[in-house]
A and B are shown apart, each in its own frame.
Chain A
């Protein structure tokens, strides 16, 4: 079976772990539990009749004191950048992370997920005026909700399709 490594990247509390949990177990918890280091989950998916085992590397979110260890991305076939729609600054952080990853590993398939779209009344999307520009520059964007499950499977399916391609 083909194995593919996917990394989840973004600052803390944007919902990386919740997205993985929704995808692997179809579950969600409101409680925030910060990831320490890395957590790896597996999920088997089927793509065009082929079985693919996804290794989902959920990396601890960046903050002022914690920087992503780029060595953890070695061997990754793609990555999901996760921003929180209710915190405009998380969007700037994923842009920064993407630059670092690209500088270190070269071009890899990725998607930008704007998570927590179940909280649209709290969204600071108007302040994220760079979104449109990124979209025009070829970034693939998807709004997701780990809570409702909206677009979570789609996000992984899109990324895997790009990785296999």
Chain B
């Protein structure tokens, strides 16, 4: 064991420390340290401008990170703790801008309190490069995702614009108010979310549901706008609008339009099989159409139509309840759950309508 004023001079140890690029310091008293062995080049470059050879070193002015670490190291040494207290990596730049990754450790060897400062730049090089690459890859992935999201949004906006322009045609032709058919989309979106559809599907049905009556474009005005009850022949012609709508929208590559085609074709089908054009019942009717049907009927009840005056919200709710056997029970149940939100949409729409924004024709 060396004496208190002795330095490490054994050639093997000196070479070992040089190979590890490590400075060994021994604590003399609190915050004062003496160099043991050789001072490595990195330490000279970073800290030793103007510091007398051999120390003692006081770190608080030259190396704030080491000084911070020593606040932890002091109690560690005082307790004569076993093992090694590690500072974690920190970075220093020398006067030429070279970057060093350093690490400090405190340990007790016999009565000596040892502080090691090691240059890990080479050792950590591969690890740092890996971390740099991993983070760059994460950023690149994030950028790509953002670009895809932006492009998808663009496409969605275009789809929506096309659908809205198609809707305008229905509004002009059919006489329904624009507000009515848009409300159906909003109700359907809410209902779909309640049923657990994905956000994309909810978005699709908001645009697709209002297209349910697109086939009305092909129905003659003499029938569509007839102020009196239709005769059986006229009614037969009117009942063709689901098929016509389906023909117009089918075979699209756009999921939204494929959904709209189903809705157009089946929105007059009833859960109990009493609907048209095919008299389907239960799950044979696509869910998108089952969902749109209840929204369409409810909104028609609470808003003025060609043939009758509107009902109060409560009366419409009662009628829907009395006819609930015609609706999918799960969808009906969810619809009842979201009635407060539906009322809010309807009320907001009514306010806007009273400002003259409601009616197209």
B132 touches A38 (CB 8 A): no
Let me know if B340 is at the binding interface, CB within 8 A: no
- CB proximity to A under 8 Å, residues B124-139: 124, 128, 131-132, 135-136, 138-139
B72 touches A71 (CB 8 A): yes
Residue of A nearest to B121 (CB): A36
Let me know if A130 is at the binding interface, CB within 8 A: no
Let me know if B88 is at the binding interface, CB within 8 A: yes
B101 touches A36 (CB 8 A): yes
How far is B143's CA from A86's CA once the two chains are assembled, in angstroms?
9
Residue of B nearest to A33 (CB): B132
Let me know if B284 is at the binding interface, CB within 8 A: no
Question: Quick check: which of B43-51, B63-71, B218-226 contacts chain A, the rest being far away?
Answer: B63-71
Across the interface, which residues of A come within 8 angstroms of B142, CB to CB? 87
In the complex, which range does the number of interface residues on chain A fall in?
20 to 34
Q: How far is the CB of B38 from chain A (nearest CB, A)?
A: 25
Name which of A36, A71, A87, A124 has the most chain B CB atoms within 10 A of its CB.
A36
Q: How far is the CB of B149 from chain A (nearest CB, A)?
A: 9
Let me know if A139 is at the binding interface, CB within 8 A: no
What are the interface flags for B59-86 relative to A under an 8 Å C-beta threshold, 1 for contact and 0 otherwise?
0000011001001100000000000000
Determine which of B72, B90, B131 lies in contact with A38 in the assembled complex, contact meaning CB atoms within 8 Å.
B90
How far is B142's CA from A13's CA once the two chains are assembled, in angstroms?
12
Let me know if A40 is at the binding interface, CB within 8 A: yes
Let me know if A154 is at the binding interface, CB within 8 A: no
How far is B318's CA from A150's CA once the two chains are assembled, in angstroms?
61
Let me know if B91 is at the binding interface, CB within 8 A: yes
B135 touches A63 (CB 8 A): yes
Q: How far is the CB of B4 from chain A (nearest CB, A)?
A: 32
Q: How far is the CB of A109 from chain B (nearest CB, A)?
A: 20
How far is B145's CA from A86's CA once the two chains are assembled, in angstroms?
12
Q: From known contacts A55-B64, A71-B72, A74-B71, infer whether A37 and B135 are also in contact, taking CB-CB under 8 Å.
A: no
- Give the total of B residues in contact with A, Cβ under 8 Å: 21
A36 touches B89 (CB 8 A): yes
Residue of A nearest to B131 (CB): A34
A37 touches B90 (CB 8 A): yes
Q: From known contacts A36-B131, A55-B64, A74-B71, infer whether A13 and B88 are also in contact, taking CB-CB under 8 Å.
A: no
A38 touches B138 (CB 8 A): no
Let me know if A35 is at the binding interface, CB within 8 A: yes
How far is B185's CA from A101's CA once the two chains are assembled, in angstroms?
46
Let me know if A51 is at the binding interface, CB within 8 A: no
A40 touches B65 (CB 8 A): yes
Let me know if A156 is at the binding interface, CB within 8 A: no
- CB proximity to B under 8 Å, residues A3-62: 12-13, 32-40, 42, 55
B136 touches A32 (CB 8 A): yes
B72 touches A12 (CB 8 A): no
Across the interface, which residues of A come within 8 angstroms of B101, CB to CB? 36-37
Residue of B nearest to A37 (CB): B89
Q: From known contacts A32-B139, A34-B135, A55-B64, infer whether A69 and B71 are also in contact, taking CB-CB under 8 Å.
A: no
Across the interface, which residues of A come within 8 angstroms of B138, CB to CB? 63
Across the interface, which residues of A come within 8 angstroms of B146, CB to CB? 86, 122, 124
How far is B150's CA from A124's CA once the two chains are assembled, in angstroms?
11
How far is B135's CA from A13's CA once the two chains are assembled, in angstroms?
8
Determine which of B64, B71, B88, B139 lies in contact with A40 in the assembled complex, contact meaning CB atoms within 8 Å.
B64
How far is B146's CA from A74's CA once the two chains are assembled, in angstroms?
37
Nearest 9 CB-CB pairings of A with B: A37-B89, A39-B91, A38-B90, A37-B90, A34-B132, A40-B64, A34-B135, A12-B135, A36-B89
Pull 5 A–B residue pairs with CB atoms less than 8 Å apart, ordered by A: A37-B90, A38-B65, A38-B91, A75-B68, A75-B71
What residues of chain B have their CB less than 8 Å away from a CB belonging to chain A?
Answer: 64-65, 68, 71-72, 88-92, 101, 124, 128, 131-132, 135-136, 138-139, 142, 146
Q: Given A74-B68, A74-B71, A87-B142, list of 12 further CB < 8 A pairs?
A: A13-B135, A13-B139, A32-B136, A32-B139, A33-B132, A34-B131, A34-B132, A38-B91, A39-B92, A40-B64, A72-B68, A124-B146
